Structure 1
């Protein structure tokens, strides 16, 4: 833990730092409660805010904050609460940003002067989260030294300091906290996650995404187009299938591959194999999200409102009642998928007799037809006569 030094600089320092912030590549979602609202004015009134700010939430009532976090915090102006808020903001940033963009979650929770006497300390706690590191800043203020607006200004500067520290490549922009001589600086501490894939295998996170040179941890993006597979190996057919699906949906920037480290029949992949398959996507510059979701109902819970791109053979297995314990079990699973807002795009394939098999060749139960969960990728949009199995056999023979 280290102290963030105090300083008394000109008011232009805040404007200059925020202007530099808006030129940095990071995009942020913010959650504030209890104070720090002058920071929002500084961020939003300096030109270029749309380059930085994805979302701002102010859950001021305790019930509102609990609704955002998904639990009732034991203490509100607390480092643990600030960290949880920053992680929620990070997940919101992931949902709003495009694949490959650098994202941040930023939070501030305060206990400031009010219209009644407070027994506890007056303090502000800021936090930032970038997927692999959570940094918190705890600042205590002397009681009775400032009115509410003065304490809010200090809290706002702490928030700006945290945001700029997490966003700016240059360390020359420092936000002065305007503390009195006998007030200590903010205490800074960090918690890092060294190996996201190991954390995934240990059930500590739900997903690890690789896109645009960034690693997005435990922030699965809902409402995108995912092509699940084992990618052993990744080949042009995979790329073309996802591109065709995105074109059909008219969402060229929303496509991503999905690799599940768990298989319903074969168990978990070894970590070295996972890293090898991930590296294919890093080398190719393609987005990939890694999950522990072998079943589509589990994928849908992690990635709701999404479109899953599947091949003809996978689609045939998906509607086979034997995998669900019978017809009724199958319908219940698909009803859950529909409830989670998910559906499928089906790519055809060439059969042994050279016929092109597609959705119309499937014996789709009437109940599933009414749900409208399946849609064709026409042969004119995508056709690949190369399979991963054929490529593996070729590699063995070479």
Structure 2
């Protein structure tokens, strides 16, 4: 290891940034160097080397069209970022780093000797593309240069400064940056933002608690009282959740999201997500209890909302269960009658993830739709 690289890694380990690194084809020395310098446990959360096609497909959850490409490198970095989110200490800054490469080998191989190195964080994603002229360098030399580049560009990602060793007509850099969390969320760069009132607290916070999802257009006392009660019942921290994307409605604009945030008090936690389905929400907020009304529970167990496919419905419930999530169901006035969970035919396999709030503990017969129609607020 070069002395300069050693000192660069020392600085990286002194920072508060946590990383997940995944490499395939080249870049393994970067992992070795990170571990050789004291302080690695302050930086590295985990590392992956998906070398075979089957391993790479398993890591990404899909089969890439080209294993050594800009798009695959970004997919790897995004997967690494999501792993970092699920394993990070609370509110730590994280970066997912990837390298996919094809370099000199003992067999004849078509295509260029090249590497794609990507970085994914909450507000930006970058890819460095490095090409080598065949037979100019040995495999060991290419590996060294790629690994050195991973370390040096990581330094730049963290500190916004530094020198990059690989600088030639054979190197290119593409970068996408977002000016704020909401821009990043609506562009699918991040999956959630935690607010207190109108003030953003963190991105991809991995919140776990009791969550009341809704459009909150407008919020009313029924929402507030229900969430407070659910928090008392479950003994979990409480949060409202608003999805920027919906199954049967156009996505919310940034302006509309900001307008709805203005309704909340500074002591109230609000989660903005880009996931309209509870199976998706469960992966962003594992271990959470979702508070829903009787009418929502009725839709959740109706195959009509799964393209008349019960297998899709059962798979969705299984995903929710696997993420240690469940539902707390409040009664709702429907067609002139107050309906509770007991009136629903929950599939026996998943009855344990549905619990009822009895009418004696909660009943408020108002809705946001009624308030919009009457022009009133509660």
| TM-score for the superposition, normalised by structure 1 | 0.68
Q: CA RMSD in A?
A: 4.6
Tell me which of the two structures has the higher relative contact order, counting C-alpha pairs closer than 8 angstroms and 6 or more residues apart: 1
The answer for the alignment partner of 1:344 in structure 2 is: 326
Q: 1:230 and 1:384 mapped to 2: Cα distance?
A: 20
Classify 1:47/1:368 alpha carbon distance in 2 versus 1 (closer, same or farther; 3 Å). Answer: same
In structure 2, which of residues 172, 176, 197 is the aligned counterpart of residue 191 of structure 1? 176
Classify 1:244/1:144 alpha carbon distance in 2 versus 1 (closer, same or farther; 3 Å). Answer: farther
- Give the secondary structure class of the aligned counterpart of 2:320: coil
1:223 deviates by 8.0
1:54 deviates by 2.4
How big is each residue's C-alpha offset from its partner over 1:334-364, in whole Å with a ceiling of 9 and x where there is no partner?
A: 634432234434276999xxxxx998x8445
1:226 deviates by 3.8
Q: 1:194 and 1:33 mapped to 2: Cα distance?
A: 31
1:108 deviates by 0.7
How big is each residue's C-alpha offset from its partner over 1:314-340, in whole Å with a ceiling of 9 and x where there is no partner?
A: 1465147996669xx798786344322
Q: 1:79 and 1:322 mapped to 2: Cα distance?
A: 41
1:44 deviates by 1.9
| 1:274 equivalent in alignment to 2:257 | yes
Q: 2:80 and 2:332 mapped to 1: Cα distance?
A: 46
The answer for the alignment partner of 1:55 in structure 2 is: 46
Is 2:294–2:330's contact at 8 Å kept on the other side of the alignment? Answer: no
Is 2:211–2:227's contact at 8 Å kept on the other side of the alignment? Answer: no
In structure 1, which of residues 39, 42, 48 is the aligned counterpart of residue 30 of structure 2? 39
Classify 1:188/1:275 alpha carbon distance in 2 versus 1 (closer, same or farther; 3 Å). Answer: same
Q: 1:65 and 1:138 mapped to 2: Cα distance?
A: 20
Is 1:106–1:126's contact at 8 Å kept on the other side of the alignment? Answer: yes
In structure 1, which of residues 106, 126, 129 is the aligned counterpart of residue 97 of structure 2? 106
In structure 1, which of residues 8, 15, 18 is the aligned counterpart of residue 9 of structure 2? 18
Is 1:30–1:55's contact at 8 Å kept on the other side of the alignment? Answer: yes
Per mean C-alpha deviation after superposition, the further-off stretch among 44-53 and 91-100 is 91-100
The answer for the alignment partner of 2:197 in structure 1 is: none
1:30 deviates by 1.8
In structure 1, which of residues 288, 307, 327 is the aligned counterpart of residue 288 of structure 2? 307
Is 1:358–1:376's contact at 8 Å kept on the other side of the alignment? Answer: no
Classify 1:152/1:242 alpha carbon distance in 2 versus 1 (closer, same or farther; 3 Å). Answer: farther
Alignment of 1:221-370 (within 5 A): 226-231=211-216, 232-233=218-219, 237=225, 240=228, 244=232, 247=235, 257-261=240-244, 269=252, 271-278=254-261, 286=269, 288-291=271-274, 293=276, 298-301=277-280, 303-304=282-283, 307-310=288-291, 314-315=293-294, 317-319=296-298, 335-342=314-321, 343-346=325-328, 362-363=342-343, 365=345, 367-368=347-348
Is 1:237–1:384's contact at 8 Å kept on the other side of the alignment? Answer: no
Structure 1 runs not aligned, ≥5 long? 1-9, 352-356
Per mean C-alpha deviation after superposition, the further-off stretch among 239-248 and 22-31 is 239-248
In structure 1, which of residues 118, 131, 155 is the aligned counterpart of residue 146 of structure 2? 155
